[in-house]
Structure 1
Amino acid sequence: MDHMIFEVGTALLLVAIASVLASKLKFSIIPFLIILGMLVGPHAPTLGIIDLKFIESQDMIDFLGRIGVLFLLFYLGLEFSVPKLIKSGRNIVVGGSVYVLLNFSIGLAYGFLIGFPLYETLITAGMLAVSSSAIVAKVLVDLRRTGNNETELILGMILFDDIFLAVFLSIMSGLLLGGATSVGGTVLSVGISIGYMILFFIIARKGTKILNKLLNIKSNEIFIIVVFASLFFIAGFSETLHVAEAIGALLFGLALSETVHSKRIEHLVVPFRDFFGAVFFFSFGLSIDPLTLGNAAWLAIGAAVLTIIANIVSGMIAGRSAGLSHKASTNIGLTIMARGEFTIIVANLGISAGLLPILKPFSALYVLILAIVGPLLTKESKHIYNVMNKMFKWSKPQEKVKMNGK
């Protein structure tokens, strides 16, 4: 037991070092932690008393990673707001619909093209359709674009994408984890998942007063114990209904999102989300053998190229339909391109259901490529727009004004 604690401590120290390095380079920590996990593990050397194989502590690290998924989706549920989406208007609904439909359709086509079975194809489509809220938000802040005209639409499209993620995971959870073998059983499993989700929607809309009263706890210590105990109980109970534990966490967050305590919960949850979320990405990389990546390289590169094209096109359609300039529309497509935490969660659902093992290295490489390339393309959006403008001739370059008659 003592050695296992030392191993876990070593793993967490590595996670901390990688996170500091990513921060120094002003980059998302997600690719750093996945690569770190892949570099250590069963194939890594032993350096004196420091064992980088993490064999004894593997189960503990995996469990901490599962907690990370719960906190990530619980926080997403807290941020989730259907009334906010409705109030945001037609532009966000149109832009979000175009974004999700185009990326999901390309994912379906790609899955069938590379010969994946139906369920693996659906998981691939889901992977390609969900952006990384964390990376997108970080890019907007780092590039100081929060005040840009297109930023409201970008955030609205991300919110719409999050809603799609909730529905998609609920349906796929019923399909993959329900254990049904007949058409009727499959319909029943999906129906239970959707019904479970609708129940939490109703609680969020109609049960706010009761939740406000139940959570009216002055002590932060007792408050966080009550909230976290409920979170883990609901996540575990969800699995008994063959609904993924992560979905239970998301739906519980959704139920609390309209309460007067939501901001207080968010404030208390963020440190746990960040810490355990980091362990999740590390543990995901730890479960991948680098020697298997070669088999998935071309699959991931192909998916990344299609995603880049689909995002630029959907961003252009969304921006132009909202009356934004071609330049602002280009910014939209480039900004929402990054893939990260939610893509891995979608892939993990398929992996946990026993689908093709290739999904793990495929999803890892796909996320690594776009978590790195996405922010870089966003940073260079001005130059990319200029190149595209020369190709499509959207606007004529402005002539330089002559000064003093010269």
Structure 2
Amino acid sequence: MGGAFVAAAVLARLGGRIGLPTIPLFILAGILLGPHTPGYVLLEDPHDLEMLSALGLVLLLFYLGLEFHMEDLRTGGRKMIVAGSLYLVLNVGAGLAFGFGLGWGTEEALVLAGVLGISSSAIVTKVLVDLGRIGNPETRPILGIIVVEDIFLALYLAALQPVLSGADGLGAMAADMAKAFGFLVALALLARFGTRVIGRLFAIKDDELLVISFLGAAVFVSGVAERFGVADAIAAFMVGLILGNTGAGERIRELVHPLRDAFAAIFFFGFGLSIDPGDLRAVVGPVLIALAITVAMNLLAGLITARVYGFGPAPTANVATTLLARGEFALILATMAAAAGLDARLSPFIAGYVLVLAVVAPLVAGRSHWLARILPGGPPEAARA
């Protein structure tokens, strides 16, 4: 574990000097020190980090839930829902068509729909901060699309889990889905009506006790969720949503931040350990096709969003390029697919796809003014990217 932290930190610092995001570097550290590459092997069996990786995943989604507010939907209004829904229809639909076109199987196609369809909240937010675009007019629609994606993700994972678990027959699958959605509905009702009671339970002055309490809640509910067929990650998201709307929400966000960063690094590192670089050669073609589809769908989604909000070329280009990145959600789906024993090509495909986009997307977003020059209405406004 110490070696994993040190390797991830060293590579991330080196990458930071040239402006690369941390997620692909954490994965790369795992690949380089894993059993599938020559040289020193830190861990022969990636499963040795399985529990710590699971904790990293839980904390990632728990933090995202803390950042999510139902008010975002109310204040965003119709435009945000329209833009977010169209983005999902275009990207998830294209991902599903791509998955069926590959011919790897129906379950694999459903996984690929999510991989190609959902942006990385972590990378998108980091890009906006790093490029100083938080105050830009197009940032609110970008974050609105991320919010709609998060809601879709919760429903998508709840529906996908029973399918991947291999339920016997349609009746058993329907029962598993009903059980999973029932558990999610119970958490949603708690988020809607139980915030005041939960807030009293977490009105703890001592930071040590507060950390133990919210960690216990997130991990315990995630474990219970798995028994109901709900992905542990999405249960953690719901717990974060509930606690984020209590009086202790702001303190919890501050306290969980370093824990999230540390164990998320282990999650990405652990995923890298499981990747055999030799397998990437077999999926180079599908990865390149998927990249072309993602770029095309994001450009189209950016143009539609611009039409909805009345944006010019520069904001349109920013929307199209900022949402390109894929990251943590794709890796969550890769983890679920591996656990379900799906096609072995999925993991190297997702790894290659995420690595390329996680590196390229921030670089492209920083040069969105090049795209703005060739969009309708071009150069005058493009200068203020």
Task: Tell me which residue corresponds to 1:247.
Answer: 234
Task: Tell me which residue corresponds to 2:155.
Answer: 167
After the TM superposition, which residues 117-132 of structure 1 pair with which residues of structure 2 at under 5 Å, given as runs? 117-132=105-120
Confirm whether residue 13 of structure 1 aligns to residue 6 of structure 2. yes
After the TM superposition, which residues 229-240 of structure 1 pair with which residues of structure 2 at under 5 Å, given as runs? 229-240=216-227
Contact 1:135–1:340 (Cα < 8 Å) also in 2: yes
CA distance in 1, matches of 2:87, 2:340: 27
Larger CA deviation: 116-125 vs 256-265: 256-265
Can you list the C-alpha shifts for 1:358-404, whole angstroms capped at 9, x where unaligned? Answer: 11001000101111121121111111221x23xxxx23756xxxxxx
- Structure 1 segments, 4+ long, off by >3 Å, are 43-46
Tell me which amino acid in the other structure corresponds to 1:113. Answer: G
What is the TM-score with the length of structure 1 in the denominator?
Answer: 0.90
Cα 1:262–1:115, aligned 2, differ >3 Å: closer, same or farther? same
Cα 1:358–1:397, aligned 2, differ >3 Å: closer, same or farther? closer
Task: Tell me which residue corresponds to 1:341.
Answer: 328
User: How far 1:138 moved relative to its partner?
Assistant: 1.2
CA distance in 1, matches of 2:125, 2:177: 32
* Secondary structure in 2 matching 1:89: helix
Find the partner of 1:111 among 99, 119, 132: 99
After the TM superposition, which residues 42-57 of structure 1 pair with which residues of structure 2 at under 5 Å, given as runs? 42-45=35-38, 51-55=40-44
User: How far 1:286 moved relative to its partner?
Assistant: 0.6
CA distance in 1, matches of 2:378, 2:361: 28
Contact 1:43–1:53 (Cα < 8 Å) also in 2: no
Task: Tell me which residue corresponds to 1:269.
Answer: 256
Task: Tell me which residue corresponds to 1:5.
Answer: none
After the TM superposition, which residues 272-287 of structure 1 pair with which residues of structure 2 at under 5 Å, given as runs? 272-287=259-274
User: How far 1:83 moved relative to its partner?
Assistant: 2.9
Confirm whether residue 395 of structure 1 aligns to residue 377 of structure 2. yes
Tell me which amino acid in the other structure corresponds to 1:23. Answer: G
Cα 1:274–1:396, aligned 2, differ >3 Å: closer, same or farther? closer
Task: Tell me which residue corresponds to 1:291.
Answer: 278
CA distance in 2, matches of 1:396, 1:33: 38
CA distance in 2, matches of 1:123, 1:35: 23
Find the partner of 2:55 among 57, 67, 76: 67
CA distance in 2, matches of 1:250, 1:63: 18
Contact 1:128–1:307 (Cα < 8 Å) also in 2: yes
Larger CA deviation: 293-302 vs 60-69: 60-69
Can you list the C-alpha shifts for 1:4-58, whole angstroms capped at 9, x where unaligned? Answer: xxxx322221111012112222221111111221122114455xxxx524126x4
User: How far 1:190 moved relative to its partner?
Assistant: 1.1
Cα 1:20–1:180, aligned 2, differ >3 Å: closer, same or farther? same
Find the partner of 1:205 among 183, 192, 201: 192
CA distance in 1, matches of 2:61, 2:330: 12
User: How far 1:120 moved relative to its partner?
Assistant: 0.6
Can you list the C-alpha shifts for 1:224-276, whole angstroms capped at 9, x where unaligned? Answer: 11111122111111111122221221121122222111111111111011000
Unaligned runs of 5+ in 1: 1-7, 399-406
Unaligned runs of 5+ in 2: 381-385
Task: Tell me which residue corresponds to 1:76.
Answer: 64
Confirm whether residue 190 of structure 1 aligns to residue 177 of structure 2. yes
User: How far 1:219 moved relative to its partner?
Assistant: 0.9
Contact 2:4–2:30 (Cα < 8 Å) also in 1: no
Contact 2:313–2:378 (Cα < 8 Å) also in 1: no
Alignment RMSD, CA only?
1.5
Tell me how many residue pairs correspond in the alignment.
Answer: 380
Contact 2:37–2:276 (Cα < 8 Å) also in 1: no
Tell me which amino acid in the other structure corresponds to 1:221. Answer: E
CA distance in 2, matches of 1:347, 1:124: 9
Task: Tell me which residue corresponds to 1:141.
Answer: 129
Task: Tell me which residue corresponds to 2:25.
Answer: 32
Q: Identity percentage over the alignment?
A: 39
CA distance in 1, matches of 2:139, 2:223: 37
Cα 1:54–1:184, aligned 2, differ >3 Å: closer, same or farther? same
CA distance in 2, matches of 1:251, 1:33: 26
Cα 1:332–1:219, aligned 2, differ >3 Å: closer, same or farther? same
Contact 2:280–2:352 (Cα < 8 Å) also in 1: yes
Task: Tell me which residue corresponds to 1:91.
Answer: 79
